[in-house]
A and B are shown apart, each in its own frame.
Chain A
Amino acid sequence: MCALDVRPAVATERLLLRGPTAADVAPIAELANDLGVAGMTSRLPYPYGQDDAEAFVGSVARMNPRTEAVFAVEHRQFGVVGVLGFHERAPGRSELGYWFGRPFWGRGYATEAVTGALRWAKGDWRRNVVWAGHFADNRASSQVLCKAGFLYTGDVEPRPCAGRNGQAVPTRMMVWLA
């Protein structure tokens, strides 16, 4: 890593979104190793160990910053509470994904982080359209995305869920239009 860290950071009222570092491996491994968390994301395997977290942090360092951006979501008091990222599923199609550790559910952190990330995506990353999807059985994520301004596209796609043994889960697609 170069001395001058040029990776972006976003500050919200209670949270800081910044690039994940080696110091985040332990809290990420602890929070992600929860079927209630992994079962609502497409990528997180379950069980989730220290090596998974290390591999994840390593993969973020190799990402192309023009097409992908991943943030560790850090609470100003409690440290890392979750992870949020934009991935390119198809050329020019940025898709938002996130997860938050169970102790930090129900306090509006996800909405705050997503809102801050969208502000960054529009202002600094110059994105006018961001996609997202939530598993049809994930009401909390539906509320987060609606509050952040996402609209249902009307499409429901089967998406594999690593935490549910790769089983395809109906995913309601949403879009955010700047």
Chain B
Amino acid sequence: MKAIVTVMPKPSVLDPQGAATADAMKHLGLESVGRVRVGKSIEIELRSTTEEEKLHEIARDLLSNPVIEDYRLELVP
């Protein structure tokens, strides 16, 4: 069992990494490229999925910073 936490910068936060990556994609010939945003994905192996509430707490307090990021938690069997 696994939990996957995806952390993305909030739309209102400047993401210079995403902008630089978009430029590189354009340079490589991807003409249709628009806005690019770079986040991260954290895979957590679990022995059970009974602690979902705790996982949300950790995703909110440790894995992301609500001032600048949003997270999405997904449980995978």
A, B: real partners: no
The residues of B with any CB-CB pair to A shorter than 8 Å are none
